[in-house]
Amino acid sequence: LSIDPTSNDANNKRNKKPVYVNVESAIALWVKHVIDNKQTLTSYLIQNKAKEFAQLLNEDKFNASNRWLQNFKQRHNIREYKRQGEANSASLDKLPKFRSKLQSIIQSYQLGNVFNCDETSLYYRLELSRTLAIGPVSGTKKAKDHVTVLLTANTTGSERLKPLFIQFEIWIKASCLLTIIGINRLGYKNLFGIFTLKI
């Protein structure tokens, strides 16, 4: 903590050369392969795979310690990230063909008549995770009561359809809340709380 993170000493610590070069090279290639294939990577997996490589390379003194792991991450700029959105849920190899087909269909319509929609969840009882206080504050279990919302608008933004809300239970409470906050909406409910072809 006493070292300035921008100092030469800090840079030297970050760029400290590995002792087991062959193991480092092997695990670095493996990590790149995992990341390129968009697979989940954890510290535990890196350490276990490093031990396997060390055994194959006859590096008996290598033990994949937590200190080694920390240095390895710093050398290769590896950090923990939270996955965002659902971008990887779609098959990217089929995207160009689908995009061309969609564009050919849209061309026959005026932009004002082209609509897009997407669904999201509204956790109407969820409290803020941060608060002002004069000391530590105990948290509470997060409420999971929610409604699924379908939002629809045209390409130009000149027309927005009424939000469509759907809930599988406690619909009355959700409906009352939405009335209080003044949302003009349509409401449905079914067994699973999801949008179906019928809706």
Write down the pLDDT at residue 71.
93
pLDDT tens, 38-79?
A: 788 899 999 999 999 999 999 999 999 999 999 999 999 998
Judge whether 174 and 165 are in contact, CB under 8 Å.
yes
Better-predicted residue by pLDDT, 20 or 13: 20
Instruction: Give the integer Cα–Cα distance in Å for 73 and 35.
Output: 14
Q: Which domains does the chain have, with CATH numbers?
A: 8-75 (1.10.10.60), 111-127+143-199 (no CATH)
pTM: 0.44
Say if residue 30's pLDDT is above 60.
yes
Averaged confidence pLDDT in the chain: 77
Q: 161 in helix, strand or coil?
A: coil
Maximum distance among all alpha carbons in the chain? 70
Q: 28 in helix, strand or coil?
A: helix
